[in-house]
Chain A
Amino acid sequence: MRKSLFFILVLSTSVIFILRLFYLQVYATEPYSIYEDNAIRKVYTYPKRGYIYDRNGKLLVSNQPSYDVMIIPGEVKALDTTEFCGLLKISKEYFLNKVERTSNYSRRIPSVFLAHLSKKDYGFLAEKIRKYEGFYIQKRNLREYNTNIGANVLGYVAEANRSNIEKDPYYSTGDIIGKQGVELSYEKYLRGEKGIKFIQKDRFNRDIGSFNNGESDINSIAGNDLTITIDSDLQAYGELLMKNKKGAIVAIEPSTGELLSLVSAPSYNPNLLVGRERSKNYYELYKDSIYKPLIDKGLLSTFPAGSPFKIIVGLIALQENAVSDKTTIYCDGAYIYGRNKKSMKCHCGGGYRNIYNGISQSCNSYFAEVYRKTINMDNDVSRNFDKWSVNVKSFGLGNFLNNDLPVGKKGIIPDSEFYNKWYPDFRWGPTTNLSNAIGQGEILVTPIQLANMMASVANKGYYYTPHIIKNIEGDSIDRRFRGKNIIKIDKQHFEKIEIGLKEVYASGTGKLLNVPGIEICGKSGTAENFTRLNGKKTQLTDHSIFVAYAPKEEPKIAIAVLVENGYYGSTWAGRITSLMIEKYLKGGITLKKIEKLVINKSLENEYLKPFSGKPFSINKL
């Protein structure tokens, strides 16, 4: 016993140690993963974000380096504050305040001390900052806009917020993510794939060098460059024309569905949302409740379609054989209908109206009659109305266009169920909603829907889904932009309507808007609109609307223009339409007088009326 006790002690100690090691290292351990190892700092390396070019190859968005002065408060040594503040062009208060705040956050982890140095300041500071311990300069990539137009189309980038991070595990705090426009909808292409650098930490959380000589690092993959369908010259011209007005211009190439321009007015310089002043500028734009510059009006404004809707009402009536091009009615300045002899006014001037001069003179009575006939056929109102509704929707109205823009609105195209809710047991008929015939009433559309409708008319029976992407470097654009959306209306009916649309420029509302050498087909519109003032529904000056396509043979551009509270369609929207068409098709402007008139026109008074608090009058030229 005396001899063996020691042996037993030594052996049992070893056995216990080995069992304990087995427990720690084999049983209770997870397979080693470098991502779980908190001794390794994972630092993301960000690739170049993809550039954005316009349809003519002009560079719109690129990247610029930005330099931040960083501070590690724990490492800051005594320094000459006056000299240092002079160097950075900051006040002593800023210095003291920033040092205190960053120290409170962490004394060891670097914080941003001064963000976004200019390139000039950086060159000057790069050498001098070394003498101040605890400070260094860190490079970041920012967006650089080589243009000051198209803010709503291009969108902007910002740091990913919490909900971005929760939705997509790719993102982590501090990552940049597209927030609007193309930056948002093509984020996955533009961003590329970030890489990871593994850095060995010590127990004070300090970096002490790259892990495994960088062999485990994952390289980043550069983002794809994009070419968008926007013609930046046309876009710039549109923004110029829309100066001091609210509204939108949407221009589409009918043969492809490519968006030539997407103007939202008022716009802002995209460079405002880059750099040190970003949040201040953003807030300024955000809080502007009159002009709402951050809202893309081409995609989000909904309003009654007005007279342009007569194109569709006419087309469907012809297709359904409710009327023919021989059908004629007499307009005496008002359309009387219903048991209570309600009347719908007409400003066409009166006379015999058919599909051709009905369109060109925008006769309300004619289309009211046509609409009634379509819905009343065979006395099957509900079925006819649903069929009519489906036909209207086949133009891309009343639903999302399924395009590649991050925002949009459905608008409203009612069907029988819609009215059944209001008037149960089929106590409704075409006279109940007769204003649908002239694009008022329940009908709501967006500018891009109207432009797409005109593209369909230009194509005489189909449209390509409007889209903003023309080319993705190293990839192809989505297949859904290459297929035709067919409208079940015969080509011959479109040709009849086209005669009317062309006549608009000969004898109708567009007769003062002709562009020499270009045959334009178009239609004006005036949409009544209302707002709520102190809880009371109040009518405002009508929206000025114009839709068109040109040239008549092989159309190159289909366009919709909305000038909010611009009154008659031909007054402002019509003028802008002609200028845009001339600019796009000819490259230069001959309608100098009209151009000058439009550019100098400000509708500011009109927009301020509802906010003035005083009684005001509307629809005055």
Chain B
Amino acid sequence: MIGQRKNKLKLDWIVISLYFILVGFGVGNILSSSISGEEIYLFDLTKLYGKQFIYVFISLFIGFIAMSIDVKFYERFSSLFYLISILLLICLFFFGKRVNGALSWFPIGSFNLQPSEFVKITVALAVSKYISDYQTDLRRITDQAKLFLIILIPILIIILQNDTGSSIVFFSLFLVLYREGISQNYIKSIFAIIILSIITLKFSFLTSSIFAIISTIIYYFFKGKTKNKIIKIIGVSVLCLATCYTTNYSYNNILKNHQKNYIKVWLNLEKDPLKIKKMEKTILYNINESKKAISSGGLTGKGYLKGTRTMGNFVPAQHSDYIFSTVGEEWGFLGSVFIILLYTLLILRILYLSEHQKNKFSRVYGYSTASILFIHFLINIGMVLGLTPTIGIPLPFLSYGGSSLIAFTILLFVFLRLDANKINEW
């Protein structure tokens, strides 16, 4: 039949292969990080690797379903999905379970479901749908506002549920907006805010203010002809000062002690040796142990199932957020670089495919997928390597956890479905 031939799919096997390699490697490392010398039974549900094995099958099953659904379905119902997911987030306030202070889980039997992982998919769909709507004009302030609202609502809810780490992921969607033509000023502002905040925290309010004003003047000096130069310089400077002041104020008056400590550790702010000693036993402990484990791997690693720090469970959460320390210890520099290259290749491949989409919805969704994967990659490995602040989000496909594995699988497979459909579009 003509209709069937028309719907013939051309799957991107590069992405699929990368997915399977990463997931397989993930189960292997979770196995290594959750056992200590005992016998291995793959489907032992009392063990983390056994559970993860089950999650892989569930993911594949749901991924397969996601791939068999028609493209139009996603486009048409994206708003509905979005609403449902937001409702689910709100339901957490009533039925949620608090784990490590964050109200992010629905207890379902002996398993916990984390809706925020799935919200990433629905927000990506909603953003794609909104941007691809022919009525939307990203240069219009009202349309920009609506788009921001789509992204900010889940962020706000998740922050209220004390899961700041998960909320940061959504900011990555600004990369998508930038690609789709939102004013450059937004991106510039975000970078400016990040840099000014860091300088304010690391040095002082005064330093960052002076730095901000001088940078603004230099910027406009080299920019060449612009209207109302003086007014703009003054305006931008005031905004910069406001940023510095806000940062300073939030740090001193709003942030809680443990959040301050994370920043102190990241920016090396603490000089009191006694307090550093105390931190070494608490928040610095994770990061130090993680660095030690990775460092001890050396060039070629200690070998699979032979990581002594992994076996000794020295790095807390080494099966979930800190899984990369196991990779570093057991597979060494070579194995770690291999994993980093896998992620780089996966993200770049998704970007490449997105750029070649004929359908705007698919392109934006592809971009969203890439940006969500990228920010997890950046923050998680950055944290394990001691480069970025300690923010507990999983490493896609590798970290232990059913919700995140299933959600990332759906996120990716929906894109694969959209991509596979491009030969059918004209």
A: residues with CB less than 8 A from B are: 2-3, 5-7, 9-11, 13-14, 16-18, 20-22, 24-26, 28-29, 31-32, 37, 39-40, 200-203, 208-213
* Pairwise interchain contact A26-B347, C-beta atoms closer than 8 A: no
- How many B residues are at the interface, by size bracket? 35 or more
User: How many angstroms between the C-alpha atoms of A251 and B410 in the bound complex?
Assistant: 94
Assembly CA distance A214 to B175 (angstroms): 53
B337 near A18: Cβ-Cβ < 8 Å:
yes
Q: Contact: A31 with B298, CB < 8 Å?
A: yes
Interface string of B324-338 (1 = CB under 8 A from A): 000010001100110
Give, as a whole number of angstroms, the nearest-CB distance from B332 to chain A: 6
Are B387 and A16 closer than 8 Å at their CB atoms? Answer: yes
What are 21 A-B residue pairs whose CB atoms fall within 8 Å in the complex? A5-B179, A6-B175, A6-B351, A6-B371, A11-B348, A14-B340, A14-B341, A14-B343, A14-B344, A17-B340, A17-B387, A18-B337, A18-B340, A21-B385, A24-B294, A24-B295, A25-B332, A28-B295, A39-B308, A202-B312, A203-B314
Chain B residues with CB under 8 A of A211 = 308
Contact of B181 among A2, A14, A29 (CB under 8 A): A2
Is B36 positioned at the interface, with any CB of A under 8 Å from its CB? Answer: yes
Contacts of B316 in A (CB 8 A): 203
Asked, given contacts A17-B381, A25-B295, A26-B333, whether A200 binds B36 with beta carbons under 8 Å apart, the answer is: yes
Contacts of B358-387 to chain A: CB distance below 8 A: 367, 370-371, 374, 377-378, 381-382, 385, 387
Give the docked Cα–Cα distance between A208 and B300 (Å).
25
| Interface: B355 (CB within 8 A) | yes
Query: Does B313 lie within 8 Å of A29, measured CB to CB?
Result: no
Within the assembled complex, what's the spacing in Å between the Cα atoms of A15 and B78? 36
Q: Report Cα–Cα, A31/B298, bound state, in Å.
A: 7
Given A5-B178, A200-B308, A211-B308, A25 and B348 contact (CB-CB distance below 8 Å): no
Of B311, B336, B347, the contact of A21 (CB 8 Å cutoff): B336
Q: Decide if B37 touches A208 in the complex (CB within 8 Å).
A: yes
User: Are B367 and A6 in contact, with the CB atoms below 8 A?
Assistant: yes
In contact, A32 and B298 (Cβ under 8 angstroms) = yes
User: Are A25 and B299 neighbours in the complex by a CB distance under 8 Å?
Assistant: yes
Cα of A37 to Cα of B382 in the assembled complex, Å: 25
Q: What are the residues of chain B within 8 A of A20 when measuring CB–CB?
A: 385, 387
How many Å lie between the Cα of A427 and that of B295 in the bound state? 79
Within the complex, the shortest CB–CB distance from A122 to chain B, in Å, comes to 30
**Once the chains bind, are A39 and B295 in contact (CB under 8 Å)?**
no
Select from chain A the residue with minimum beta-carbon distance to B307: A39
CB-based contact B302/A21 at 8 Å: no
Known: A2-B179, A6-B374, A29-B298. 13 other contacts (CB 8 A): A6-B371, A10-B347, A13-B377, A18-B340, A20-B387, A29-B295, A39-B309, A203-B313, A203-B315, A203-B316, A208-B37, A208-B313, A211-B308
- B348 in contact with A7 (CB, 8 Å): yes
Task: Contact check, A200 vs B37: say whether CB atoms are below 8 A apart.
Answer: yes
* CB atoms of A25 and B333 under 8 A apart: yes
Q: Which residues of A contact B328 (CB under 8 A)?
A: 21, 24-25
Tell me if A202 and B308 are in contact (CB < 8 A): no
Q: Does B117 contact A (CB under 8 A)?
A: no
Distance, CA A6 to CA B295, complexed state (A): 30
User: Most chain-A CB neighbours within 10 Å: which of B175, B341, B381?
Assistant: B381
Q: How many A-B Cβ pairs are below 8 Å?
A: 113
Bound-complex Cα distance A201 to B313 (A):
8
Q: Point out the residues of chain B lying under 8 angstroms from A3, CB to CB.
A: 179, 355
| Residue from A6, A32, A210 in contact with B296 in the complex, judged by beta carbons closer than 8 Å | A32
Let me know if B311 and A208 touch, CB within 8 A: yes
Tell me how far the C-beta of A115 lies from the nearest C-beta in chain B, rounded to whole angstroms.
30
| Contact call A21/B374, Cβ cutoff below 8 A | no
Nearest CB of A to B316, in Å: 7
Give complex CA distance A5, B336 in Å.
25
Q: Are A2 and B178 in contact (CB under 8 A)?
A: yes
Task: Check A208–B312 contact: CB distance below 8 A.
Answer: yes
Most buried by A among B289, B297, B370: B297
B281 to chain A, nearest CB (A): 11
Quick one: closest B residue to A25, CB to CB? B333
Q: Is the CB of A10 within 8 A of B344?
A: yes
Residues of chain B within 8 A of A6, CB atoms compared: 175, 179, 351, 367, 370-371, 374
Give every chain B residue within 8 A of A7 (Cβ-Cβ): 348, 351
The chain A residue sitting closest to B377, CB to CB, is: A13
CB distance from A36 to the nearest CB of B (A): 9
| B291 interface hit (Cβ, 8 Å) | yes
Is B314 touching A39 in the complex (CB atoms < 8 A)? yes
Q: Determine whether B306 belongs to the interface, using a CB cutoff of 8 Å to chain A.
A: yes
Q: Which residues of B contact A32 (CB under 8 A)?
A: 296, 298, 302
**CB closest residue in chain A, given B346:** A10
**Complex Cα–Cα for A40 and B381 (A):** 26
The 4 closest A-B pairs by CB, nearest first: A39-B308, A25-B333, A209-B37, A39-B312
A208 surroundings in chain B (CB, below 8 A):
36-37, 311-313
A25 lies within 8 A of B298 (CB):
yes
Q: How far is the CB of B194 from the nearest CB of chain A, in Å?
A: 13
Given known A17-B382, A21-B328, contact A202–B314 (CB-CB < 8 A): yes
What's the Cα separation between A9 and B36 when bound, in Å?
39
Q: Given the complex of chains A and B, what is the CA–CA distance between A351 and B316 in angstroms?
A: 100
CA distance A22 to B336 in the complex (A): 10
A24 contact set on B, CB distance < 8 A? 291, 294-295, 328, 385
- In contact, A21 and B314 (Cβ under 8 angstroms): no
Shortest distance between the CB of A519 and any CB in chain B (Å) = 75
Pairwise interchain contact B344-A11, C-beta atoms closer than 8 A: yes
Q: How far does the alpha carbon of A11 sit from the alpha carbon of B296 in the complex, in Å?
A: 26
- Contact across chains for B340 and A21 when beta carbons are under 8 A apart: yes
Q: Check if B333 sits within 8 Å of A21, measured CB to CB.
A: yes
A209 touches B36 (CB 8 A): yes
Which residue on A lies nearest to B296, using beta carbons?
A32
The distance from the CB of B361 to the nearest CB of chain A, in whole angstroms, is 18
Rounded to whole angstroms, the CA-CA distance of A366 and B228 in the bound complex is: 131
Residue of A nearest to B381 (CB): A17
Give the residue name and chain of the A residue nearest to B347 (CB): A10
* Whole-angstrom CA separation of A14 from B373 in the bound complex: 13
Residues of chain A lying within 8 A (CB to CB) of residue B315? 203
Min C-beta distance of B300 to chain A, whole Å: 9
A237 CB to nearest B CB, Å? 59
Task: A17 to B382: give the CA distance in the assembly, Å.
Answer: 7
**Contact assessment for A22 and B333 in the assembled complex, using a CB-CB cutoff below 8 Å:** yes
Least CB separation from A2: chain B residue = B179
- Residues of A near B332 (CB, < 8 A) are 25
Of B175, B181, B295, B311, which one neighbours A200 at CB under 8 angstroms?
B311
Residues in A whose Cβ lies below 8 Å from that of B382: 17
CA distance A262 to B343 in the complex (A): 80
On chain B, the residues within 8 Å of A31 by CB distance are 298
Quick one: CB contact mask for B228-271 with A, threshold 8 Å, 1 for yes? 00000000000000000000000000000000000000000000
Task: Give the residues in chain A near B291, CB-CB below 8 Å.
Answer: 24
Instruction: Please measure, in the bound complex, the distance between the C-alpha atom of A534 and the C-alpha atom of B332, giving whole angstroms.
Output: 76
Asked if A26 and B298 sit within 8 Å, CB to CB, the answer is yes
A203 to B325, CA, bound (A): 15
Name the B residues within 8 Å of A200 (CB-CB).
Answer: 36-37, 308, 311-312
B311–A39 CB distance below 8 A: yes
By beta carbon, the residue of chain A nearest B334 is A25
Does the CB pair A10–B351 fall under 8 Å? Answer: yes
A212 x B179 contact (CB < 8 A)? no
Given contacts A10-B351, A21-B328, A209-B36, contact A29 B296 (CB under 8 A): yes
How far is it, in angstroms, between the C-alpha of A201 and the C-alpha of B344 when the chains are bound?
A: 35
Within 8 A of A (CB), among B275-323: 289, 291, 294-299, 302, 306, 308-309, 311-316
- Residues in A with CB closer than 8 Å to B347 are 10
Q: Kindly list chain B residues whose C-beta atoms are within 8 Å of the C-beta of A209.
A: 36-37
A107 to chain B, nearest CB (A): 16
User: With A and B bound together, what is the CA distance between A21 and B332 in angstroms?
Assistant: 9
| Contact present for A17 and B385 (CB under 8 Å) | yes
Complex-state Cα separation, A28 to B328, whole angstroms: 14
Q: Give Cα A213–Cα B333 distance, bound, in whole angstroms.
A: 26
